[in-house]
Amino acid sequence: MVGRIVCSKAGRDKGYFMIVVGCDEKFVYVCDGKERPLERPKRKNKKHLQFTNTVLEKSSYSTNKSLKKALAVFKDTAKFKEET
C-alpha cells in the first residue's frame, strides 16, 4: 500500500492526487509535497480515498520536490487518457 497514488474523495482536498506514506488499521497517511509535505502527512480514512493501480518507488518521492513532480506527471497522463 505504501507508495500507491490515491485520489481524495472527501474533505477540503477533494479531487487531489496524493501518495500513501503509511497506514494503520483504519487510517492511511498521505502527502502531496505542497499542502501536505512528507514531514507532516495527513491522516485520512480509507473510505475517503480512491486507490489507483499506480505505485511509485521510494526513490521517486524521497523529497517534497520530487513528490510534486511525480504527482504532476501522473495527473497529466491521467488527463490525457481521459481525453482520448
Which residue segments constitute the domains of the chain, with CATH numbers given?
Answer: 4-83 (2.30.30.30)
Place of cell 511525480: 70
Given a cut of 90, is residue 27 above it in pLDDT? Answer: yes
- Residue 78 is predicted with a pLDDT of 77
Where is average pLDDT lowest: 14-18, 65-69, 77-81?
Answer: 77-81
pLDDT in tens, 37-76: 999 999 999 999 999 999 999 888 899 999 999 999 998 8
Phi, psi (deg, nearest 5) at residue 64? -65, -40
Q: Is the pTM of this model over 0.85?
A: yes
Given a cut of 80, is residue 31 above it in pLDDT? Answer: yes
- The Cα 78–Cα 21 span in angstroms is 21
Please list, residue by residue across 41-68, b when 16 or more beta carbons sit within 10 angstroms of its beta carbon and e when fewer do.
bbebeeeebeeeeeebeeeebeebeebb
